[in-house]
């Protein structure tokens, strides 16, 4: 494990890594304990919520140390924990997609719907990682610039959006007789449409993209990602918790 490194005065990124770690850890404890108070049919969904925030808390602990150990006030790009960031996302985003399946399972959701959502998530994250890696390496990968890989990643995100706004997930939610499920589903897909938009906006601040005309881009990108992660992952869990507490 990385040795703990102190956050330097005025280091906004380091501060958001620290707050993110605490917030995700606190949410995990809450979800684990609350799991014992809900009916059996929602225990798995709430467990997944706890796993999402637990994985994120551990990753944020490592990312904070990596950032603090490598950031010297000038080279933010070299201190950006890209690999650790994407390890977190590759583990947690498919779990967040699984929440849609667990939410709609009683309404007849197919396992194929789950795999489609996970497939879109992997496409989104895989292309996004390669695009950010191309910036770090300073040259295109496989003939695509980071903008091109960003377009491919957006296709993955759009696939998830299509599934939950127009596809099988939407049809199952509309057909559910449980108003609590319909409400939770609408809130979750709102996070995907609006909350997850933070990530492509952050990606567009990379050099060569449409929002790249600013300074200290890597620092701004990490702040955007840190705040977005805390809101989206904890928010997903709170929606599932609220449904479980209202459900029978």
Residues in the chain: 248
Q: d(Cα 7, Cα 68) in Å, to the nearest integer?
A: 6
The DSSP secondary-structure symbol of 138 reads T
Cα separation, 224 vs 156, whole angstroms:
20
Task: Please answer whether residues 212 and 202 qualify as being in contact, where contact means their C-beta atoms are separated by less than 8 angstroms.
Answer: no
pLDDT, one tens digit per residue, over 40-80 is 999 999 999 999 999 999 999 999 999 988 887 666 667 78
Give the DSSP letter of residue 106. Answer: G
Return the domain boundaries, the chain: 12-246
Secondary structure class of 139 (helix, strand, coil): coil
Burial code (b: 16+ CB inside 10 Å, e: under 16) for 204-240 equals bbbeebeeeeeeebbbbbbbbbbebbbebbbbbbebb
Alpha-helical regions (H) of 71-175: 76-79, 82-104, 111-137, 146-165, 168-175
Residue 67 · residue 20 · CB < 8 Å = no
Q: Do the beta carbons of residue 225 and residue 204 sit within 8 Å?
A: no
pLDDT band for position 34 (cuts 50, 70, 90) = very high
Q: Locate tokens 């990643």: which residue? A: 153
Q: How far is CA 148 from CA 38, 126, 145, 200, 209, in A?
A: 45, 13, 5, 13, 10
Predicted pLDDT of residue 1? 46
Provide the CATH number for the domain formed by 12-246 in this structure: 1.20.1070.10
pLDDT digits (tens, 9 = 90+) for 139-182: 778 777 788 888 899 999 999 999 999 999 999 999 998 999 99
DSSP 8-state class, residue 144: B
Q: What percent of the chain has pLDDT over 70?
A: 90
pLDDT per position as a tens digit, 94-146? 999 999 999 999 888 999 999 999 999 999 999 999 988 887 777 778 777 78
Q: Is the pLDDT score of 4 beyond 60?
A: no
Q: Whose CA is closest to 100, among 3, 246, 201, 236? A: 236
């Amino acid at each position: 494990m990385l040795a703990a490194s102190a956050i330097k005065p005025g280091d906004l990124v380091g501060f958001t890594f620290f707050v993110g770690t605490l917030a995700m850890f606190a949410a995990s404890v809450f979800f684990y304990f609350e799991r014992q108070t809900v009916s059996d049919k929602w225990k798995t969904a709430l467990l997944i919520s706890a796993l999402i925030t637990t994985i994120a808390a551990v990753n944020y602990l490592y990312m904070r140390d990596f950032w603090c150990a490598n950031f010297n006030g000038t080279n933010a790009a070299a201190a950006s924990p890209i690999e650790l960031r994407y390890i977190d996302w590759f583990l947690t985003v498919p779990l967040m997609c699984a929440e849609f399946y667990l939410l709609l399972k009683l309404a007849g959701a197919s396992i194929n719907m789950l795999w489609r959502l996970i497939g879109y998530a992997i496409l989104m994250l895989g292309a996004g990682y390669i695009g950010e890696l191309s910036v770090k390496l300073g040259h295109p990968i496989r003939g695509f610039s980071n903008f091109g890989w960003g377009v491919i990643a957006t296709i993955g995100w759009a696939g998830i959006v299509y599934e939950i706004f127009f596809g099988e997930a939407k049809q199952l939610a509309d057909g559910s007789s449980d108003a609590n499920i319909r409400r939770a589903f609408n809130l979750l897909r709102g996070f995907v449409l609006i909350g997850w938009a933070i990530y492509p906006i952050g990606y567009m601040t990379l050099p060569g993209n449409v929002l790249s005309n600013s300074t200290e881009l890597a620092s701004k990108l990490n702040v955007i990602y840190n705040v977005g992660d805390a809101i989206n992952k904890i928010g997903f869990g709170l929606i599932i918790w609220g449904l479980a507490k209202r459900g029978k």
